[in-house]
Structure 1
Amino acid sequence: MTSTLDTFPITRKWPARHPDRLQLYSLTTPNGVKASIALEETGLPYEAHRVAFDTQDQLSPEFLSLNPNNKIPAILDPHGPGGRPLALFESGAILVYLADKTGQLLPQDPAARYHALQWLMWQMGGIGPMFGQVGFFHKYAGKDYEDKRPLRRYVDESVRLLQVLDGHLKGRAWMLGEDYSIADIAIFPWVRNLVGWYEAGELVGFERFAQVRRVLDAFVARPAVQRGLKVPA
């Protein structure tokens, strides 16, 4: 019997062993782990597929059939709205979808919901792009540029964003106060990556941001986060 997912070209390259489960196409980058952490937090059954950058899997026709923007993560849910399969890309959109699907990680109160979405958009428009540029100019090819003005520009903006984040977290356990949400799942993998993989903690003076450090520690201590950070293996 042919499963519904077999009609999607991406399953030719990454066959679904469990076609009844949500399919995740990802890698353990800050954006990639947003999806896997949310899936672990909600308890939704899923199957993870590794999209390897070193072999340019993200540029394959099969992956592009699901995400023409050739970025991870992307998902294919056999049980989407109306019972029909749903293909979706963009980590922020995936977080909102998973929260709405499960009724978790996003407040039901309209005002609180919009506050969560506000901080989600803030991460997508600020934290992600700016921290990513710091990583490029500090650790990757950009570090060899003689002109250090681009690095300085992105470091300065990253410091400003950390100041905003630190001020907001004073007196709050999470971005929305006592309620853990997709806003936290969006933001803190990037903070972790900045001071960890990018090795830019000293560069941005991370020790100054006591509230950010406190919440980052609480975030990585969550069992679902620890599992999600390793997906796909």
Structure 2
Amino acid sequence: MKEQYTPPTIWTHDAESGGKWASINRPVSGATHTKILPVGEHALQLYSMGTPNGQKITIMLEELLALGKSAEYDAHMIKITEGDQFSSGFVDINPNSKIPALVDHTPDGAETVFESASILVYLAEKFSALLPEKSTQRTQVMNWLFWLHGSAPYLGGGFGHFYAYAPEKFEYAIDRFTMETKRQLDVLDKQLAKHEFIAGDEYSIADIATWPWYGNLILGKLYDAKDFLQVADYNHIQRWAKAMLARPAVQRGCIVNRTWGEAWEQLENRHSAEDIDNVLALKPV
């Protein structure tokens, strides 16, 4: 039997024990190297990667474009597995070194926005879209947006880490976060049994924030855990997740800042609508 771990009096960082992310995880913040971020021709400059958190913003931007808003953008890949988020340029716009981060080059100067919920609200307010103006409806959207940001870390950093990425499988940790993930799925399923969308009967940034995590999970596109979690049992999330994926803007946003998957799912950097069109044209009919 393996000896039980006893925490030391003072914790010290063991760079060899971090598994897949050991090379980039560290207990301090700040830049590790000097690098200037690229800047494209559009006012909106997104620095991101096509993880669930990154997909939130590219889906949002594509939805805004579909609504006819002037939301053209450049999306630059930040390779988090290679430590791009610790460059001096990225740390300047997000001292927390997490994707996504957005710079809006306005006539009054550059506005920097980080944290995906903050970016979603910023864009919704800037373009007057996907966030209701009425206080009651707006409150419900904000309730579910913040629910997502309180819940997703248990799914990603909890369940996802211990189920898919940890160097060893720990039954206690997997059981703990599986229970919480299934509880969250039950919360969502019951909400979607009553409403077409997450926060009611209108599509909103609450759906855009939630789908990359729980939609991808329920459709078997995250952690390869659909059987383990019995995701087919959540009928109402299944209905919503499939309806979301049928939206052209969701399909377009999902491929941006990706370098994995099928050829038609990969677009490292995005500078125009044609960039996405050319990649999606590779998708088998």
The TM-score, its normalising length taken from structure 1, stands at 0.89
Name the counterpart of 1:41: 63
| Greater relative contact order (Cα < 8 A, sep 6+) | 1
**Take 1:125 and 1:94, find their aligned partners in 2: how far apart are those partners?**
16
Tell me whether 1:56 sits opposite 2:83 in the alignment: yes
Residue 128 of structure 2, aligned match among 103, 118, 130: 103
1:2-21 C-alpha deviation (Å, 9 max, x unpaired): xxxxxxxxxx6332230x42
Q: Which runs of 4+ in 1 moved over 4 A?
A: none
**Take 2:155 and 2:243, find their aligned partners in 1: how far apart are those partners?**
21
Residue 154 of structure 2, aligned match among 119, 130, 142: 130
SS at match of 2:82: coil
CA contact (8 A) 1:58 1:72 kept: yes
- Aligned-pair CA distance for 1:61: 1.3
Name the counterpart of 2:212: 189
Matched AA of 1:175: I
**Greater Rg, structure 1 or structure 2?**
2
CA contact (8 A) 1:22 1:47 kept: yes
Q: Which moved more, 1:35-44 or 1:52-61?
A: 52-61
Name the counterpart of 1:30: 52
Name the counterpart of 2:238: 213
The TM-score, its normalising length taken from structure 2, stands at 0.73
Cα-Cα RMSD: 1.4
Aligned pairs for 1:81-230 within 5 A: 83-126=108-151, 128-132=152-156, 133-142=158-167, 144-145=168-169, 147-194=170-217, 195-230=220-255
Gaps of 5+ in 2: 1-34, 66-70, 258-266, 268-285
- Aligned-pair CA distance for 1:200: 1.4
CA contact (8 A) 1:155 1:203 kept: no
Residue 21 of structure 1, aligned match among 43, 53, 64: 43
**Take 2:248 and 2:122, find their aligned partners in 1: how far apart are those partners?**
22
CA contact (8 A) 2:37 2:90 kept: no
**Take 2:172 and 2:94, find their aligned partners in 1: how far apart are those partners?**
34
Gaps of 5+ in 1: 1-11
1:139-195 C-alpha deviation (Å, 9 max, x unpaired): 1125x23x3101100000000010010001113211133210000011111013433
- Aligned-pair CA distance for 1:203: 1.8
- Aligned-pair CA distance for 1:40: 0.6
Aligned length: 216
**Take 1:181 and 1:67, find their aligned partners in 2: how far apart are those partners?**
25
- Aligned-pair CA distance for 1:197: 2.6
**Take 2:46 and 2:199, find their aligned partners in 1: how far apart are those partners?**
27
- Aligned-pair CA distance for 1:30: 0.4
Q: Percent identity?
A: 40
**Take 1:97 and 1:56, find their aligned partners in 2: how far apart are those partners?**
27
